[in-house]
Each structure stands twice: as structure tokens, then as C-alpha cells.
Amino acid sequence: MAMVLQLTTFLQQWLYSRPDVKALGKESDAVRLGIIGGSAMINAASIIHPAETHPGARIVAVASRDIKDAQKAAKQFNIPKAYGSYEELLADPEIEAVYISVPNGLHGEWAIKSLQAGKHVLLEKPFTSNGLEARRVFDEADRAGKICVEAFHWQFHPAAHVVKSLIASGKFGDIKRTFARMVTPKGTIPGNDIRWKWDLAGGALMDETYALHATRYFVGADNETLLPTGIKPTVLSAISKPWSKDQRVDSASWADLRFDLEGGKTVESKIYVDMDQPNLALVIPRAWELPSIEIECEKATIYYFGFMMAHVYHYISIYDKVTKHTTYQKHYNYGPKWKDVGDPHWSTYRYQLEAFVDKVRGREPKHWITPEDSIAQMESIDAIYMKNGLGVRPVTGELEGQ
């Protein structure tokens, strides 16, 4: 399902990248970006098209380990420079910041190398292979005095902030429980895809980490002045369905979690992620099961459907337990944090880029993913993998020679 959503995003952003709606010109101090991982399918939606409509961002180079892949991407998207190695791109003094979309297991290695090269980093999710590596990356960011942020694009969208504000208002009382899911129909992800590679930190819990992240975000503290905290759950139980071709990789995972909050309050949460969900009658994908989260409060149940790519389609339903009535909302711009910036056509990635450019240029972003949040996310994934018996994902570079 995630791949279907990405394809829809490509179409949506291509339509929004017509010459008449592209940024009329680039600012003189536009952030000069390079892409590490030039052959990644996600690049067009996640960084290239968003940069086309942002006057403060310019893609100046793309790198792949195969120069032909880099040249193909450069030609297709009118990127000035193509490099046949990541090292060459990092040596380019024109580049200020990099977007990294290499396989999961290589995230930490190339984030650290990019920071050491003096570049700011926008790093795809999941942030690293495990929590320890996440801490290493941010330690390097501190030493380098550079910005490094996890590209959890979904959380930058106005609809996510509306849901958060509904909870934070206290109108519906405390959260009692949550349930988040993200699934991909069986057969959608080819058997040779990097998502199935154990040594590249593959697996359902890693690739579909959005379900856990959404749970942590909506349960954790946040308001107009307080950024999300590094809240972590206690893992009560966790099971996985090992992939048939490699028992170390989870094709699906389920977890029961408990969040212990201030004042002795607790929230019970469930997550379900599946990269190989069986189709109905073996042939009909469950296309209606977009990533979603249900949040039951004392006085109402809030359901946020389609949260991962809310720009494609989403809705927020609120079932009032007192009146027994359900109301619906949709928010493609504005919201609590984007009152003076944004457009209904903007994707989650475009909102994310807006915040990243602001941060690089020393301005206060409308929203941000903190280092504490990314570390807590990876440590929570580690805890679930330990509980279900698969163990913490290894750092790819440390597997060499084994």
C-alpha cells in the first residue's frame, strides 16, 4: 500500500510541478542540495518535486554508485551534476545539505560521512539500524555543528497537527488506548527488494515504522511551544511473522505497548505492520486499509485515516461518546502550525522541506523532529525486536567480514 501511495504522490506532485505553478525563481541564498541514493524511487516525490516549488531550495547534484543511474536521474529532472560515487558528491563545496535515501542499513554510515564533510542532513526513515547508531549520528551532528533530521514527512502535515491539537485541548479527556496499522498487499514488494534484506536493516517494523511513530507522537506531549518528547513505551508483548525466505526478517509484526505518563496515567497501545498482507480471496488487495490510527479518549474516539500521506487522501472522524454522533474533518493546509504558510496542493514532503530549509537558514521551523524523538523511535523498535525474538537490527558496516 505504501508503494501505491507513493505512485499517487508522484502523479499529484507532477501535476503540481507544471511550469505555471513552479517557483518563479530561486532565492539568492537557496539551500543547495545534493541527493545521495540517486536511483531510489522515492526521490521524485520526497525531494525533487518539493524543491521545484520551493524558492529557497535548489537540487544541484545527484549521486549513485552507478554513474549511469545518476546521469539518468540528472537528465530526467534537470539536475546540473551527476556523480558516480557518494564520496564525490560530498567533496563538492557547492553542496550545503544532502538528502539521503540509501537502504536502511546504510543510513547511519552516510549520515555520519555527510556530517563529517560539513553538510546538513535530511535522512530518510527509519533513521538508522538501531538506537545505538542513532546516538552516534547525533553525536557527530553535534561535533560538526550541523543539522541532521529524520524525514518523517507525515508529521509535518497540517492534518497531523489538528489531530494533536484535538487531543491536547483536553476536551475529550485523557487518552485511554490507541491502535495504529500500516499494511502492504501481498506480492506488492518483489522478493529481491531491499526491504527484505536483513543485512540492510529490512523488515516490516523498520519499513512501516510510521505506525509506531504515529502512536508515539499522539500519545506524547506537544503543543504550540513544546516539541514532541522522546517518549518510549514498555513492550508488553510482541510477535512477528518471519519472512519465508529469511527467518531473521519480519514480514509482519504486532506489538502491545504501554505508555506510562505523568500523574500515574497510562495508555495501552497496539500496532500492526505487514509488508505481505494476504489478499481477499487471494487476489483482491485491501486497498481501503490506508495507514491509520485510532485514538480512544475518555469522551470520544478520534480516527485519523490516511495519516502517512495525508495530501493524497485523509479524514479525521470524531465519535462523541456522549452524543453518539460522529463528525468528520479534512485539513490540507492551515492548521495550528501552518497558519501563514502552506498550500492545499503541498505534499507532506513539501511541508517537510519548508521546515528543513527554515532550520538550515537559522529560522524557527513550524514543526520539527527532534534528536530525542528519533533516538526514542529507534530504541522503541529495538525493544519490540528484542521482545519478539528477532533481535536488534545490526549496523551494516559492522557485518563486513562476517
pLDDT at 19: 44
Residue 254 lies in a domain: yes
Q: Which residues pair with 295 in a beta bridge?
A: 178, 302
In this structure, of 18-22, 73-77, 313-317, 338-342, the range with the lowest mean pLDDT score is 18-22
pLDDT at 43 over 60: yes
Residue 211 lies in a domain: yes
pTM score: 0.93
Residue 350 lies in a domain: no
pLDDT at 279: 74
CA distance 158 to 164: 10
pLDDT at 24: 58
Number of domains in the chain: 2
pLDDT in tens, 270-301: 999 999 988 765 556 676 678 999 999 999 99
- Domain boundary residue, one of 103, 135, 153: 153
CA-to-CA separations, 342 to 24, 316, 334, 348, in angstroms, rounded: 16, 20, 7, 11
Q: What is the DSSP string of 314-354?
A: -EEEEEETTT--EEEE--SSBTTTBTTS--TT--HHHHHHH
Asked whether residue 116 falls in the same domain as residue 199, the answer is no
pLDDT at 142: 98
pLDDT in tens, 111-170: 999 999 999 999 999 999 999 999 999 999 999 999 999 999 999 999 999 999 999 999
Radius of gyration of the chain (CA): 20
CA distance 216 to 196: 25
For residue 395 the three cell numbers come to 549496523
Asked whether residue 123 falls in the same domain as residue 161, the answer is no
Residue 400 lies in a domain: no
Asked whether residue 88 falls in the same domain as residue 117, the answer is yes
CA distance 184 to 287: 9
Residue 163 lies in a domain: yes
Is the distance from CB of 162 to CB of 328 less than 8 angstroms? no
CA distance 382 to 133: 11
Own/partner pairs, 21-27, CB within 8 angstroms, 24+ separation: 21/53, 21/345, 22/52, 22/53, 23/52, 23/53, 23/54, 23/55, 24/55, 25/55, 26/55, 26/56, 26/58, 27/55, 27/56
Asked whether residue 143 falls in the same domain as residue 187, the answer is no
Is the distance from CB of 155 to CB of 369 less than 8 angstroms? yes
CA distance 393 to 396: 9
Residue 315 CB burial class (10 angstroms; 0-12, 13-18, ≥19):
middle
pLDDT at 191: 94
- Domain extent at residue 384: 156-338+371-388
> Kind of pairing, strands 97-100 and 31-36?
parallel
Is the distance from CB of 210 to CB of 5 less than 8 angstroms? no
Angle made by CA atoms 341, 3, 77, in degrees to the nearest 5? 60
Asked whether residue 164 falls in the same domain as residue 137, the answer is no
| More confident call, 231 vs 381 | 381
- Position 373: which residue type? D
Asked whether residue 149 falls in the same domain as residue 42, the answer is yes
Asked whether residue 82 falls in the same domain as residue 139, the answer is yes
pLDDT at 281: 56
pLDDT at 52 over 90: yes
pLDDT at 356 over 80: yes
Asked whether residue 138 falls in the same domain as residue 234, the answer is no
Asked whether residue 177 falls in the same domain as residue 99, the answer is no
- Domain boundary residue, one of 131, 153, 175: 153
Please, which residues have CB within 8 angstroms of residue 248's CB and are 6 or more apart in sequence?
198, 242, 390, 391
- Domain boundary residue, one of 153, 187, 214: 153
Which CATH number goes with the domain that contains 106?
Answer: 3.40.50.720
Residue 394 lies in a domain: no
> Kind of pairing, strands 120-123 and 97-100?
parallel
pLDDT at 39: 83
Residue (of 352, 346, 317) closest to 334 by Cα position: 346
Asked whether residue 96 falls in the same domain as residue 30, the answer is yes
Asked whether residue 138 falls in the same domain as residue 243, the answer is no
Residue (of 59, 65, 53) closest to 22 by Cα position: 53
Kindly list the catalytic residues.
Answer: 125
CA-to-CA separations, 69 to 39, 47, 83, 88, in angstroms, rounded: 6, 17, 9, 15
Residue 398 lies in a domain: no
CA distance 202 to 286: 23
Which CATH number goes with the domain that contains 167?
Answer: 3.30.360.10
Please, which residues have CB within 8 angstroms of residue 278's CB and are 6 or more apart in sequence?
186
pLDDT at 284: 65
Residue 137 lies in a domain: yes
Residue 294 CB burial class (10 angstroms; 0-12, 13-18, ≥19):
middle
pLDDT at 27 over 60: yes
| Over residues 16-32, mean pLDDT | 70
Average pLDDT, the chain: 91
Asked whether residue 174 falls in the same domain as residue 292, the answer is yes
